[in-house]
Every structure is written in C-alpha cells, then in structure tokens.
Amino acid sequence: MATLLFFIPSKQNKGEALLVWKDISKLPYDIILLFGGGFALAKGMEVSGLSEWLASNLGFASKINVVLFVLLMCALVTVISEFASNVACIQLMLPILISLQKETGINPLMLMIPATLAASLGFMLPIATAPNTIVFSSKRFKTSEMLKAGFWIDVAGIIVITSVAALIL
C-alpha cells in the first residue's frame, strides 16, 4: 500500500507524489529492524516448538507456592520482553500459561493478567518497548545506562505486580 503513495499526486506540492524518495531516506531503519527482530524471535520460538517444550518442562509449578510462581513467571516474562516486543512476548507466553494453568489448577486470570502486565516492563534494552527504541535512537543514551536504570524499574514492577496478584489470590 505504501508503494501507491509514490504514484498518488499531492494536492499541496504540485507535480510531486504524496511520498517521495527523500522522505523514505529519513526512515529509521534501525528501529524497524529492532522491532522486526523481536517479532521474528517470538515467532521462531512458537514455530520451533520451544514454547510447548517450556510448558512441558515447567510441570514443577504445581508444587510451589502460587505467589512464588507468579513472581517467577513475572520475572521470566519481563526478561523475555527485553528481547522481544511486548506483543510478541505475550503472544508467546499466553499459550504456555494456558497449558500450565491446566496442570496447576490456578485460576487462569491469576496467571495471564500478571503476565500481560509484566510484558510491559521491558525497560532495560532498546528493543523492549517503542519508547525505549525512540529514546535510544536519539543517541543520547548508551545501552549500559539503559540497563542500569531499567533493571531497577523492572524489579519494582515485578514486585508491584506480584504483590497485587497476591492480594487478589
């Protein structure tokens, strides 16, 4: 569809199309590649069977405290969301959590809501969230600076999400 914009005439700039090559050259391709890589990573984990393998190997979850399980699950989802976009991360994790819910007997909402919130916690790496990527693309911050600040925000978020889930359990 974007290709059509090269052919549709502009009303403001007579003799030009809506989209010209100089506009395309300004696109932040590094950001596009970061997001695409995150989606590809999540899809690869799904297609390769890694997500099913994870669910089958997490059967021990039924033997541990529910609050501890939610804490560990939030930490895992947060780590995954550092390397894949929030949407890709939760698309990967929800099927795993549905499988685990069947084994553990935990209310599925007690797993899925904290996981969905934890997927939004990726604050350490540029790929984790769109705001991180935009800030990183300004070239004013180094990855090491983002790691330091983001780590503590992630930890605080995991604790808050787990605490609220524990109150509801």
pLDDT in tens, 95-120: 788 777 777 778 888 889 999 999 99
Range of the domain at 48: 28-168
Answer with the residue of higher pLDDT: 73 or 24.
73
In a domain, 23, yes or no: no
| Rounded Cα–Cα distance for residues 165 and 159 (Å) | 10
In a domain, 12, yes or no: no
Q: What does the block give as tokens for 106? A: 């935990």
Question: Helix (H, G, I), strand (E, B), or coil: what is residue 9?
Answer: strand
Q: How confident is the model at residue 38 (pLDDT cuts 50, 70, 90)?
A: low
- Is the separation of the CB atoms in 107 and 62 below 8 Å? no
Does 9 score more than 70 pLDDT? yes
Does 41 score more than 80 pLDDT? no
In a domain, 78, yes or no: yes
Cα angle at 37 between 34 and 38, to 5 degrees?
Answer: 90
Mean of pLDDT values over 54-58: 73
In a domain, 72, yes or no: yes
| Rounded Cα–Cα distance for residues 117 and 109 (Å) | 12
Answer with the residue of higher pLDDT: 45 or 121.
121
Q: What is the pLDDT of residue 39?
A: 74
In a domain, 161, yes or no: yes
Residue (of 108, 113, 115) closest to 86 by Cα position: 115
The tally of domains found in the chain comes to 1
Query: DSSP label at 1?
Result: -
In a domain, 160, yes or no: yes
In a domain, 20, yes or no: no
Q: What is the pLDDT of residue 89?
A: 81
Secondary structure E strands in 30-116: none
In a domain, 22, yes or no: no
Q: How confident is the model at residue 162 (pLDDT cuts 50, 70, 90)?
A: very high
Q: What is the pLDDT of residue 135?
A: 83
